[in-house]
Chains A and B, each alone.
Chain A
Amino acid sequence: MTQEKPKILLKFEGMPNGRALKTYMAHSGYEALKKAFAMSKEDVINEVKASGLRGRGGAGFPTGLKWSFVPKDMPGPKYLICNNDESEPGTFKDRHLCSVSPHMVIEGMIIAGFAIGANKGYIYTRYEFQEEIGQVEAAIKEAYEAGLLGKNILGSGFDFDLDHYTGAGAYICGEETGLISSLEGKKGQPKLKPPFPAVSGYLARPTIVNNTETLANVPHIILNGAKEFRKYGSEKSPGTKLFSISGALGKPGVYEVPLGYSWNRFLNEEAGGLLPGLSLKALIPGGASAPLLTPKECEDLTLDYECMAAKGTMLGSGAIMVIDNRQSMVELLRCTIEFFAHESCGQCTPCREGTGWLNNIMVGINDREVGADSVDRLHLVSKQMGGRTICALSDACAMPVMSYVQKFSDELKAHLAKG
């Protein structure tokens, strides 16, 4: 597998005026759009299918396949939504991407809109990204002024309007049906699937929700072809991927590497390694909802969907949090559970009660007010929270909790014994 480090998504990083439409155009920006307009909608979808692009929002669902679920002959409006909510703890790659290359996202959206027959798109960004929201809105304005958005784009006969919508501080609005509820001006509560948004989404109309990074991959795939996209990564995890890495590191940040990249190399070359004198205690490889890995499990780790799954965890949104030897697993588990308990939308009993119950137990453990059997109770409660709810937030809480208990129960129990 190639270990080259191409810059595709982050091509404009560090470039003077890299965010501007002019710069984007000077480096074949919006050429993919022209090419797409000369293709049939089916061919655009087929090219994305052939690329093997998998959704970068966490679940890794094949993008072309998702697009093909939109009913073709249904009259009336269809919608495309860019999920720029990015609230999974540890994740900050979409923030970086939409700031570095807003036009790559916008071009990807127009092509996706064309392919699925949507004439209206929204970019939904979390409130906390104030600076980046300004940058995205400025890019949308530029694209309108250049005739790249609006009616009859580039004489193609295709109309596409794009608007931006700002969230208000709720992790659950990253879940696609929660996002749709929020965009409708409601509480961000997820809805049961099916029906999937592709059939009944925003205002009960066919709607595709894709992650920011997923959409930014589309221009490259259309312009250079599925084969070129597959030059990097593996058969089942093709392409490059953005990883956000944080912790006590030399160079925490966002880096683009081919899927399948060596973890050790990533840590030491991209992220600058752990700060002097520190060693690895555990790794959160895919955001707060991903099960932890021990240093031993990290030895031969590669950054792709399959290797993560084989090790019982997930690539998720590509959010890597490095836990060093100074850290208390009690403290980190406490803040993980507190997060999910706070963010549960409250609709489903296993999630609302489960996360709350876990939080009570964990506060008890932290304050040494409960017995050692509480550690096992964390596991017992978590085991009953998976697969029983409308959305995956409940699972997203249960999975990491179980991994802390499995891999660090000695530390949790030792903390209690000290009391």
Chain B
Amino acid sequence: MSVFSEGLRKKIDHYLTRYETRRSAILPVLHCIQDEHGWIKPEHIEELHSKYELDRVQVKEVITFYDIYKDKPTRKFLIRYCQNITCTMLGAKEAICRIEDHIKKLEAELGDDTPFGLEKFPCLGKCDGAPVMLVNKERVEHATVDKIDGLLSKYAPLPK
């Protein structure tokens, strides 16, 4: 039995031979696993080590070094809100406060089933649309405090 789905196993096999060395496959393979599972579980790391010869220490090193990889469960919609210079100038702080408020209320109601998670993030390279956030992989621009409720309620209901 594998902890990976058949589709995922195909992707892993593909990446293992795509580059000059197997090791270069670590980042793309982790991207695929996370896309499917939301985070990298210990059993994923073990199977990469035992069946795919991707050294567990090397894999863990990559997971902990890069911000994108998560070794803990994440919420359904992970908001990565830019808090860098331009976004700060154009209202990131106020919007982040409001998101935090929403999340607190949702958590009181739903606990771990709260749909939103929040992470403050470095410049997202879209400062001309500041303030900006990523919701999972989707870039959302002009996410100011007055618009944030409308933007987030497209993903999941907000507290009343």
- Chain A CB within 10 Å — which of B26, B31, B68, B137 has the most? B68
Report the tally of A-B residue pairs with Cβ distances under 8 A: 136
Q: Which of A183, A185, A321, A327 is close to B62, meaning CB atoms less than 8 Å apart?
A: A185
Q: If A95-B126, A244-B128 touch, does A90 touch B86 (CB 8 Å cutoff)?
A: yes
- A184 partner residues in chain B, CB cutoff 8 A: 21, 23-24
B 67-86 binary contact with A (CB < 8 Å = 1; else 0): 11100000000001001111
Alpha-carbon separation in the docked complex, A312 to B56 (Å)? 47
Determine if A90 and B68 form an interchain contact, defined as CB atoms under 8 angstroms apart: no
Instruction: Name 23 A/B residue pairs within 8 A (Cβ), A-sorted.
Output: A89-B86, A90-B86, A90-B123, A92-B128, A128-B139, A130-B138, A168-B67, A168-B68, A169-B67, A184-B23, A185-B19, A185-B22, A187-B62, A203-B20, A247-B89, A252-B128, A253-B128, A288-B84, A288-B85, A324-B89, A332-B88, A335-B84, A335-B88
Q: If A168-B67, A252-B128 touch, does A130 touch B139 (CB 8 Å cutoff)?
A: yes
Determine if A166 and B128 form an interchain contact, defined as CB atoms under 8 angstroms apart: no
B14 within 8 A of A: no
Q: Which residue of A lies closest to B59 (CB)?
A: A185
B118 within 8 A of A: no
B 113-142 binary contact with A (CB < 8 Å = 1; else 0): 000000001111111101000100111000
Q: Which residue of A lies closest to B25 (CB)?
A: A185
Determine if B58 and A169 form an interchain contact, defined as CB atoms under 8 angstroms apart: no
Q: Which of A88, A167, A171, A248 is close to B90, meaning CB atoms less than 8 Å apart?
A: A248
Alpha-carbon separation in the docked complex, A252 to B121 (Å)? 21
Determine if A128 and B84 form an interchain contact, defined as CB atoms under 8 angstroms apart: no
- A92 partner residues in chain B, CB cutoff 8 A: 125-128
Alpha-carbon separation in the docked complex, A203 to B125 (Å)? 29
- B26 partner residues in chain A, CB cutoff 8 A: 185
Alpha-carbon separation in the docked complex, A185 to B24 (Å)? 4
Alpha-carbon separation in the docked complex, A284 to B24 (Å)? 36
Which bracket fits the contact residues of A? Answer: 35 or more
Determine if A168 and B30 form an interchain contact, defined as CB atoms under 8 angstroms apart: yes
Interface residues of A in 79-99 (CB under 8 A from B): 86-92, 95
Determine if B125 and A128 form an interchain contact, defined as CB atoms under 8 angstroms apart: yes
Interface set of B (CB-CB < 8 Å, partner A): 18-28, 30-31, 58, 61-62, 65-69, 80, 83-86, 88-90, 121-128, 130, 134, 137-139
Instruction: List 14 additional contacts besides A95-B125, A169-B68; criterion CB under 8 Å.
Output: A87-B122, A90-B123, A127-B31, A163-B19, A165-B27, A166-B28, A166-B31, A171-B122, A185-B58, A245-B128, A247-B89, A323-B89, A335-B88, A345-B65
- B85 partner residues in chain A, CB cutoff 8 A: 89-90, 284, 288, 321, 332, 335-336
Question: Shortest Cβ distance from B47 into chain A, in angstroms?
Answer: 17
Determine if B127 and A90 form an interchain contact, defined as CB atoms under 8 angstroms apart: yes
Interface set of A (CB-CB < 8 Å, partner B): 77, 86-92, 95, 120, 126-131, 163, 165-171, 182-188, 202-203, 244-248, 252-254, 284, 288, 321, 323-324, 327, 331-332, 335-336, 339, 342-343, 345
Determine if B134 and A165 form an interchain contact, defined as CB atoms under 8 angstroms apart: no
Alpha-carbon separation in the docked complex, A88 to B65 (Å)? 18
- A246 partner residues in chain B, CB cutoff 8 A: 86, 127-128, 130
Determine if A186 and B125 form an interchain contact, defined as CB atoms under 8 angstroms apart: no
- A331 partner residues in chain B, CB cutoff 8 A: 88
Alpha-carbon separation in the docked complex, A288 to B84 (Å)? 9
Question: Shortest Cβ distance from B48 into chain A, in angstroms?
Answer: 12
Alpha-carbon separation in the docked complex, A69 to B11 (Å)? 38
- A166 partner residues in chain B, CB cutoff 8 A: 27-28, 31
- B128 partner residues in chain A, CB cutoff 8 A: 92, 244-246, 252-254
Q: If A89-B122, A248-B90, A335-B85 touch, does A165 touch B28 (CB 8 Å cutoff)?
A: yes
- A91 partner residues in chain B, CB cutoff 8 A: 123, 125
Question: Shortest Cβ distance from B95 into chain A, in angstroms?
Answer: 14
- A165 partner residues in chain B, CB cutoff 8 A: 24, 27-28
Determine if B123 and A131 form an interchain contact, defined as CB atoms under 8 angstroms apart: no
